[in-house]
Structures are given as C-alpha cells and as structure tokens.
C-alpha cells in the first residue's frame, strides 16, 4: 500500500481540529494582530488619516502624558490583588467545610454554592446596585430601624471602592472554593490520621499537614480569580463611581464614547500582555491532564 | 471460497524506531484453532490487529484465502474480532449488541431475530437477550462479545486474550467451551494469549512469538516435546534448561558433558551440534530414584525443596555438578508425599530419550519453513 | 480524633450557611421586588403585585431583547458544541507537539480578556467593511464558548473504550455510522452540559455583544445596561430578571438531575457523582 495513503489515514482524524482551529485563528489571533497594528499606528479607523509606524501612543501611555491611564492600571491591579487575596481567604473555610464537615452531602452543597454562578452576572450586579443604592435595601433597612435619619444614606455603600470590591468578591468566592475543595478531597487522609496519631492537636494538624498540602488548590483558586478580574469592567459600570472605573472601562471608552482606536488598542494590547504574563507565571499551578492520550492507545 | 485461511507474508510493523513485528511469515490453516503465544510485547496483538485491519502493515502482506487485504478496511474484511475488553456497546441490550453487525448488512428483521436467537443459544445466553452489558458478569459479557462476532459468519475469528480478565476457574471452563465452540462452528479461530497452558490446552497449532519474530510454529505436542530453541523450551512449561558441551557421537545419540566428570547420553534434538550448547529435559521425564542407584545417565543429587501439588510432588533437586533441576513425581500412593523431604539424597535418572540437545546459537533466526503443515521444523539457524 | 471539633463544626456551619444566604440574597431581593407594588425597589415593601410582569411582557423592546439573546445563545450553543465535538475528535488523534499546539490554540480564548477580544472583533469587522450584525455576535460567542465545550466533551470522549469504535467498524459500520450509533449516544450527557454552558455564557455576555450587535437590535445584557440607569424601566428589568434567575436555577437543578440519571443509566451510580464534580468545574475553567 502506498506510503502516502497510509500516512493520510493516520492523520485523517486529526484533521477534525482544523475547522475549530480556523475559527480561533480568524476570530482571536487575527483580531489581536490588528490590535497590535492599531497600537503602533499602522492602521486607523479614521478614513483618510495617514498610517506610518509610530510608537507615540505607546510612549504616551507608558511614560508620557497618559498618567491617568497608568494610574487607572495601577488602581485596577490593586483592586484585583486585594479582591483575589480576600476572596481566597474567604473561600478556604467554605471548601474546608464541604470536605471535612459536610461529608455526605458535600456534592449537593457544592452545587448549592455554585448555583448562583449560573444565573446572569449582569442581573446579580444590578441586584447589588439595588441593595446598596442610596434608596436601596440596606439604607432603607437602616432607616426603618431608625439607625439613621431617613434620607441620610451611607455614602461609601455605593459607587465606591467598597461596592466594586464587594461585587467582585461576591462573584468569585464560590469559584475559588472549587479547586481548594478538589485538593482537599484528593488529599491523603492517612496523613492527618498519622499526625493525630503522633499526638498533634487539631490546630497543629491543620497548620502543619492540611494547610500545606492544600496550598496547590489555594494557589489555583487565587489564579482563578486573579486573571479574569484583571480585565473586569462590568461591575464598575453599574456599582462604580467615576473614581472606581477599572482599566477595562478605559478600553471600553476608547472604542465607544471617544473613539481613538489607536490609543485604545495600546491599552487593549497591554491588558492582553499582562494577562498572558500572569498566566505564564501562575499557569503552572493549574494542573491539566488534557495532554494525556486516549486510553489504550499505543 | 471462504475457507478461512490466513497467510502472513513478510509482515512488518514499525512504530517509529521500534519494530513490533519483524517480517514474519505465518500460515494459519483453515478451520482450526490457532494460537499466537508469547510474552508481553512480542508483537502478537499487533499481528492480530493487522489481520483484522486495525493496524496497517509497514510492509508485507496479509492474505485471506489468497486475497491481499491491503487497503481493505475492517468493515469489509471477512474477519471479526473479540476484543480484550469485550468492547460491548453499553447503551444497547444484548440482543442489539449481537444484532449490530447484521443490521449493518441490512439483514431482514425476522432473519435477524432467528440468527441472534441461534447464536445466543450457542453461547448459552438465550435468556439474557434483554439485559444490558452492565448487568452481566464478566463471563457472560465475554460470551456476548463472542456471539456478536460469530453471528455475522466471519471466515476467521480473531480473539485478543479474551479470557484475561476472568478468574482461574471461569477461565478454565471457558477454555473448554471455546474449544468446543470452535469445533462445532468450524470457523478458523486465531487466538492471542500469553498463557502457555491455555494455548497448549486449546490449540490445534501454536506460533510462539518473541520480539516480533516467530520462534517456532507447530502443534502443541511438537512445541512441548521438541522445542527448537531455548526460548520455546523455556516458555512452554518448565524446561530444566542446562548448559552443556556436546563431545561427540555416542550410541544412538551424542555424549554431552554437563559438568565436571558428569557426562550423559542424549538421543533427541539437534544431534549434529558440537561444542557448547544447551539441553532440556521436562520435569515429568526425570526419574527420581533412591540414592546410590547405578546405571547410565544417573546423577547424584539432593532434594532441596518439595512442593505438594495434590496431583503430584514438584521436587527441586540440586545435582552433584552444581545445577538445579525441577522434577515432577506423580502421587502414586499415600507414601509418596513422605518419601521425599528436603535433605533427602537421591539419584536423578535423565533418560537419554528424554534429553534434548538444542542448536548452539543464542538468537533464533526467523524460520521460513516454520509455517509448513505437518512438520515441526525447528528454526533454521544462520551460522 | 475527629479533625474538626464541636466548636469548629459549629462555626464552619455558621460560616457556610451565612455565606449561602449572602450568595442568594441578591437573587432573593430581585424576586421580592419583582412582585413589589412600587416603582422603586426600596423598603418597606408596598404590597404584592404581578403588574410588573404584565408590563414587562408588553414591553416589546425588552421581550425582543430577551428573545434575541435566547436565539443567539441557542445558535451559539449548537455551533460551539458541534465545533467542540470536531475539535475533541481531532485532539484525540494528535500526539506530541501537534497536540500541545492544538490545545494551546483552542483554549486561547480563555486567557484573552473579553473586553480586549471584543474591541479586536470590532476592529476586524471594520477592516473587512462589515457592519455590526447578530451573526458577528454569534461568531464571537462561539469562539469564547468553544473552550468550554472542549473541556466538557474531550474528557468524556476520552473515557470511552476505543475498542468499541473498532468493534463497530469490525462489524461493518462506516466511520460516520460508528460515530452516530456508538459514540454519540454515549456522550449525550456531555453534549447537554456543553450546550447548557455555552447557552448560559452567550446569553449573559455583554462586552462582545455591545460592540458587535446592531444598534436597533440589542441583546438582553445590552438592554439591561441601557435601562439600569433609567428608574422608570427598573421594575420591568427586575421582573424579567426574576424570571431569568428562576429559570437559570431551575435549569441548573434539571441539568444536574438529568445528567445524573443519564450517567446512572449508562455507567453506574458511583461514577455519576464523581463526574458531576468534574463537569461542574468546567464552566469555572478548572482543570483536574
């Protein structure tokens, strides 16, 4: 049998990746390339404008007059980091509860924890806006209980760092609890048995055995919230004030309100690069068995 | 036309640099029970898969009743496979599993019902037609796999270690059943196994494979009594393989020196061999006599270990010249068990008609004549 | 010695259940106010009413947006799941560097921030002279949900005994026949999961839709954004929101129950629970 035919047969099924791959190339890689081109001025959305290669916008953003955007970038990173840390800390006891206390019903309770995640994110953000609003649930409860004079709203509740951070925290905690739960589940419980066998107290067993062994899950959870939050822009739209807009909002603005696609592309590309770097640095903590071959194949 | 004869001509399969099957020539005669026997990694499963069409040969041919199967996909070959994992379709009932092949052939519904019923009776699963595979035991699943492959009336049935997942007792029962089934149905069975006892029990003919090559292909008796080389001798049963030097002709055979001052006469095997080589003798042929017995081919020794097998005793005997052999003594009467205990001095009689001289090469050369019917041609060696 | 003492058990229980209350509070708030007889969602409550639902359903723009989003989400789900199956079949046949590259490329959308991708697609549209369209939205949604589909379908496909497919071929089925009769029925739970995940993701997606949808044809998230600052529209939004949330939660319960039932039929009870966890973690981009 001719060699070429044989090789094609083996390659045959692999070719099925091509259509999906084509979609990715056209709809993800090509747009990124265009963003890059726009960022260096080689293309423009303004008809008739000349398009020489220019790093002017990059320089402006990185070193020059784009201080406001640099500031917003730093602010975004601060919020992201803060939310990631707090979320991870809050998620740990939930995972621990599921794995060690809830034993028999843990999967059902996990589903309970995750269920809100499957409802519309926008609706949940809007719901928080209703709750935290100047006329909202929290304030009207305070007024009804006469803890505050009616009409006098708590100022920092809405359109503040607090509201943005709270919404992000609210969204991601169940998500972060999941990898921690998985790691706790897979942990060899004989190790904790051994520890208590050897006389360790509950606290010591936790600090010296459980916690260190669960760290991979903790880091994975941290990464799970860190990376998406870097690009977050929806929460500030609903519950953030003018001082609480994140980097993603800046990008959005450049492509809608005041269209400067070149400068906007600088910011968009920056965001892509930052997320990619974070993935490269932290990605190793996300184990994946996607590369394992199918069962039983030589 | 569909007699079910398989011929492999210089069949080779390479995975990258690794040669799984190395230019083997084999004939599987029609209508018999043929086994491919060998240790893990010897290429037997790969060979079977090439016959079935699931692997494409790197070179060489698979001929089925004279027709070259190259380019023919599995669905079009008159060959069907019983897989090691049974590969039953878990979402279909037993009936639909078995009917699957018939439906692909667009057989009519009434006939499907008839034929499926027949084959399920054949494998004694008639009552279970409505069950799903998940509700069956391992042995039952295996039979469904068998029925599914048989109902489409292949010329050759390929079986890839189908009994591997079953416990010993069930395995022995099914070995007998499979053999009976094959005789009843008359289809060529090509059976892959690493279990030499299984192969010996069931087969009309066995090909012993090692590292991609056929070491020897012959009847079970010939392979066991007249192994062509050390590998075959050692793979089938206990061989008591011993280093020896052939000195020259002696009586009806040759004189073989086993060690310092110990020479015996051997009358079987490659009697033209001279110089350093190996000899084999089967445990059941060694006659264990009382210490001090005299006569030709007698060696003094001492029993070092006794294993009570129920049907007999397996004695490990340390011989005077340094080698250890295993002997099998039948449990003829109640006193046998007590007669031999560790530490008992004995005399081992190695009858010259049971002592076989092997050819003196380390590596067995491929055997072009190995597939010939009726002979137990040992592998020809290349000097 | 138990790992968690009485105090620990008590406090962890308290923490967990308070947190669950915290998680569901906004959903409950929406549902309550959807039936509250007042233009503004504020306490104290003003009495039960269903008029907001009537008003919402007669709000043509709102219902139009919901229907539009549902149609886009359905198309996305089918399209992305089909592509996901193709990708999974292909990935199973690849090895070594080709496999690594293919996986990295196919999962790429997971690490590209949606806002950046959205503007990139906008640029792409403009470059080829195409205007905003719902088709563009579907394509954009398909590309971001494709990784989810793969993450659900590939492990399921991998768990199948490859010998089954060979057995089907051996018995005379064509390659497509083997796929249709053997593989496809056995991955139905994963197909459903994939469909649901893609649907839900697309339905709720804002960034790409906001840039690619034509201005007179808003999707539901776009409508939400536009109307969230309009107090007059708020009751309508809340009413439909309550329905959407109730439907989503119902969907989660049904999907999970249905999946477990299907697993039990095919595989067995024990495995059903384990894979429940595996598939719950997918939309949350978890790898095992």
Write out chain A's pLDDT in tens, 298 residues.
444 444 444 557 888 999 999 999 999 999 999 999 999 888 887 777 777 888 888 888 888 888 889 999 999 999 999 999 999 999 999 999 998 888 888 888 998 999 898 888 999 999 999 899 888 888 888 888 888 888 778 888 889 999 999 999 999 999 899 999 999 988 888 888 888 888 888 888 888 888 888 888 899 899 889 988 999 999 999 998 888 999 999 999 999 876 788 899 999 999 999 999 988 888 776 654 444 434 333 3
Any CB–CB contact under 8 A between C146 and chain A? yes
**Closest B-chain CA to A5:** B71
Q: Sketch out chain A's domains with CATH numbers.
A: 1-56 (no CATH), 68-285 (1.10.3720.10)
Does domain B238-357 correspond to CATH entry 1.10.940.10?
no
> Nearest CB to C123: which of A38, A116, A126?
A38
Cβ–Cβ < 8 Å for A290, C154: yes
The Cα-based distances of B335 to A58, A273, B7, B303, B345 in angstroms read: 100, 87, 53, 17, 17
Query: Hey, where are the domains in chain B?
Result: 6-230, 238-357
Decide if B296 contacts B265 (C-beta within 8 A). yes
Asked if the Cβ–Cβ distance from A298 to B15 is below 8 Å, we say yes
Q: Give the bridge partners for B206, in sequence order.
A: B35, B218
What's the pLDDT at A286? 66
CB-nearest to B56 from A9, A296, A298 is: A9
Q: Does A124 touch chain C (CB under 8 A)?
A: yes
Shortest Cα–Cα distance, C191 to chain A (Å): 17
ipTM value, please give it. 0.84
The number of angstroms, rounded, from the C-alpha of A205 to the middle of its chain's C-alpha atoms is: 32
Contacts of A9 in chain C (CB under 8 A): none
Tell me the torsion sign for CA atoms B140, B142, B144, B147: negative
Q: Where are the domains of chain C?
A: 35-284
The pLDDT tens digits for C61-100 are 888 999 999 999 999 999 999 999 999 999 998 888 889 9
User: Which residues are CB-neighbours of A267 under 8 A, at least 6 positions away?
Assistant: A61, A69, A247, A250, A251, A254
Q: What is the number of alpha carbons within 13 Å of residue B201 lying toward its C-beta?
A: 16
Model confidence, pTM: 0.82
- Judge whether A2 is closer than 8 Å to chain B, CB to CB: no
The tokens describing A31, both together, are 């747009």
Q: How confident is residue B2, by pLDDT bands cut at 50, 70 and 90?
A: low
Q: What HEC string does chain C produce?
A: CCCCCHHHHHHHHHHHHHHHHHHHHHHHHHHHHHCECCCCCCCCCCCECCHHHHHHHHCHHHHHHHHHHHHHHHHHHHHHHHHHHHHHHHHHHCCHHHHHHHHHHHCHHHHCCHHHHHHHHHHHHHHCCCCCCHHHHHHHHHHHHHHHHHHHHHHHHHCCCHHHHHHHHHCCCCHHHHHHHHHHHHCHHHHHHHHHHHHHHHHCCCHHHHHHCCCCCCCHHHHHHHHHCCHHHHHHHHHHHHHHHHHHHHHHHHHHHHHHHHHHHHCCHHHHHHHHHHHHCHHHCCCC
Query: What separation in angstroms does the CA of C165 have from each of A293, B73, B187, C161?
Result: 16, 13, 24, 8
CB A180 within 8 A of CB A215: no
Predicted confidence at residue B364, as pLDDT, reads: 41
Q: What are phi and psi of B363, to 5 degrees?
A: -100, 135
Q: Does domain B6-230 fall into CATH 3.60.15.10?
A: no
pLDDT band at B318 (very low <50, low <70, confident <90, very high): very high
Give the class (CATH, top level) of C35-284.
mainly alpha
CB A256 within 8 A of CB C257: no
Would you say A118 and C249 are in contact if contact means Cβ atoms under 8 Å apart? yes
Share of chain B above pLDDT 90, in %: 54
Q: Is A6 helix (H, G, I), strand (E, B) or coil?
A: helix
Query: Which of C 155-174 lie inside 8 A of B, CB atoms?
Result: 161, 163-164, 166-174
Report CA-CA distances (Å) from A115 to A48, B263, C288: 51, 85, 20
Residues B44 and B29: their CA atoms lie apart, in Å, by: 17
Residue B196: both structure tokens together: 């030499």
B40 Cα to chain A: minimum distance (Å): 13
To the nearest whole Å, the CA of C15 is away from the closest chain A CA by: 8
Q: In this complex, is the C-beta atom of A12 within 8 Å of any C-beta atom belonging to chain B? A: no
| Structure letter (DSSP) for residue B1 | -
A181-233 pLDDT tens trace: 999 988 888 888 888 888 888 888 888 888 888 888 899 899 889 988 999 99
């Amino acid at each position: 049998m001719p060699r070429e035919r044989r090789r094609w047969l083996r390659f045959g099924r692999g070719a099925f990746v091509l259509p999906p791959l084509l979609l990715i190339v056209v709809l993800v890689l090509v747009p990124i390339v265009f963003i890059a081109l726009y960022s260096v001025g080689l293309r423009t959305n303004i008809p008739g404008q000349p398009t020489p290669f220019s790093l002017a916008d990059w320089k402006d953003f990185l070193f020059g007059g784009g201080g406001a955007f640099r500031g917003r970038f730093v602010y975004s990173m601060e919020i992201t980091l803060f939310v990631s840390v707090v979320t991870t800390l809050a998620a740990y006891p939930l995972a621990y509860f599921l794995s060690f206390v809830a034993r028999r019903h843990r999967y059902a309770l996990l589903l309970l924890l995750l269920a809100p995640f499957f409802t519309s994110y926008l609706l949940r953000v809007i719901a928080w806006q209703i709750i935290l609003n100047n006329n909202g649930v929290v304030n009207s409860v305070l007024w009804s209980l006469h803890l505050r004079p009616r009409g006098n709203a708590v100022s920092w509740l809405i359109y503040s760092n607090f509201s943005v951070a709270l919404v992000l925290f609210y969204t991601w905690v169940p998500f972060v609890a999941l990898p921690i739960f998985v790691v706790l589940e897979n942990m060899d419980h004989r190790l904790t048995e051994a520890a208590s066998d050897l006389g360790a107290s509950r606290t010591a067993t936790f600090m010296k055995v459980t916690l260190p062994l669960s760290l991979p899950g903790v880091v994975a959870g941290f990464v799970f919230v860190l990376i998406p939050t870097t690009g977050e822009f929806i929460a500030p739209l609903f519950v953030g004030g003018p001082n609480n807009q994140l980097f993603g909002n800046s990008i959005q603005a450049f492509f809608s309100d005041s269209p400067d696609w070149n400068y906007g592309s600088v910011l968009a590309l920056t965001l892509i690069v930052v997320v990619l770097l974070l993935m490269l640095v932290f990605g190793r903590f996300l184990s994946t068995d996607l590369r394992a071959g199918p069962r039983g194949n030589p | 036309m569909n007699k079910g004869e398989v011929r492999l001509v210089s069949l080779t399969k390479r995975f990258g640099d690794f040669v799984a099957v190395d230019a083997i020539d084999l004939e599987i005669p029609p209508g018999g029970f043929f086994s491919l026997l060998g240790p893990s990694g010897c290429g037997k499963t790969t060979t079977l898969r090439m016959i079935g069409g699931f692997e494409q040969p790197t070179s060489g041919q698979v001929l089925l009743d004279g027709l070259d199967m190259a380019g023919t996909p599995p669905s079009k070959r008159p060959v069907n496979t019983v897989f090691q994992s049974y590969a039953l379709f878990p979402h279909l009932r037993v009936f639909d599993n078995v009917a699957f092949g018939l439906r692909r052939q667009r057989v009519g519904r009434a006939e499907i019902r008839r034929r499926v019923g027949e084959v399920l009776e054949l494998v004694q699963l008639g009552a279970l037609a409505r069950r799903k595979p998940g509700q069956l035991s391992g042995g039952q699943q295996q039979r469904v796999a068998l029925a599914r492959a048989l109902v489409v009336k292949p010329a050759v049935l390929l079986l890839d270690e189908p009994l591997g997942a079953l416990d010993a007792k069930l395995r022995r029962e099914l070995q007998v059943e499979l053999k009976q089934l094959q005789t009843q149905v008359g289809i060529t069975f090509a059976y892959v196994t690493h279990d030499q006892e299984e192969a010996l029990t069931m087969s009309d003919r066995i090909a012993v494979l090692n590292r991609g090559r056929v070491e020897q292909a012959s009847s079970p008796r010939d392979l066991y009594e007249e192994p062509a080389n050390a590998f075959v001798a050692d793979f089938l049963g206990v061989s008591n393989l011993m280093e020896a030097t052939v000195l020259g002709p002696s009586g009806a055979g040759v004189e073989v020196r086993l060690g310092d001052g110990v020479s015996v006469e051997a009358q079987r095997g490659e009697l033209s061999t001279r110089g350093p080589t190996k000899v084999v003798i089967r445990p059941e042929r060694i006659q264990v006599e009382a210490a001090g017995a005299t006569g030709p081919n007698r060696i003094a020794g001492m029993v070092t270990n006794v294993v009570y097998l129920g049907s007999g005793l397996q004695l490990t005997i340390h011989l005077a010249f340094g080698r250890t052999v295993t002997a099998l003594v039948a449990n003829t009467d109640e006193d046998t068990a007590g007669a031999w205990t560790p530490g008992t001095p004995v005399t081992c009689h190695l009858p010259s008609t049971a002592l076989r001289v092997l050819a003196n090469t380390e590596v067995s050369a491929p055997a072009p004549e190995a597939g010939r019917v009726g002979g137990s041609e040992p592998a020809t060696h290349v000097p | 010695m138990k790992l968690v003492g009485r105090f620990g058990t008590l406090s962890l229980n308290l923490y967990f259940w308070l947190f669950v209350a915290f998680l569901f509070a906004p959903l409950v708030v929406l549902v309550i106010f959807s039936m509250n007889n007042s233009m503004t969602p504020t306490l104290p409550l003003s009495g039960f009413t269903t008029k907001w639902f009537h008003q919402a359903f007669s709000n043509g723009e709102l219902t139009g947006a919901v229907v539009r989003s549902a149609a886009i989400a359905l198309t996305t789900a089918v399209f992305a799941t089909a592509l996901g199956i193709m990708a999974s079949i292909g990935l199973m046949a690849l090895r070594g560097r080709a496999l690594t590259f293919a996986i990295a490329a196919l999962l790429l959308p997971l690490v590209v921030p949606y806002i950046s991708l959205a503007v990139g697609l906008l640029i792409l549209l403009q470059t080829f002279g195409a205007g905003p369209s719902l088709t563009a939205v579907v394509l954009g949604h398909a590309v971001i949900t494709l990784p989810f589909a793969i993450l659900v379908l590939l492990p399921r496909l991998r768990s199948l005994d490859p010998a089954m497919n060979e057995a089907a071929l051996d018995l005379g089925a064509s390659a497509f026949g083997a796929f249709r009769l053997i593989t496809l029925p056995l991955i139905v739970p994963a197909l459903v999961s994939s469909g649901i995940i893609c649907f839900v993701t697309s339905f709720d997606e804002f960034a790409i839709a906001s840039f690619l949808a034509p201005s007179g044809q808003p999707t539901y998230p776009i409508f939400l954004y536009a109307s969230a600052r309009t107090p007059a529209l708020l009751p309508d939004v809340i009413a439909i929101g309550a329905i959407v949330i109730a439907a989503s939660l119902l969907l989660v319960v049904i999907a999970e129950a249905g999946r477990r039932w299907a697993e039990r039929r095919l595989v067995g009870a024990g495995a059903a629970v384990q894979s429940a966890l595996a598939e719950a973690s997918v939309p949350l981009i978890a790898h095992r």
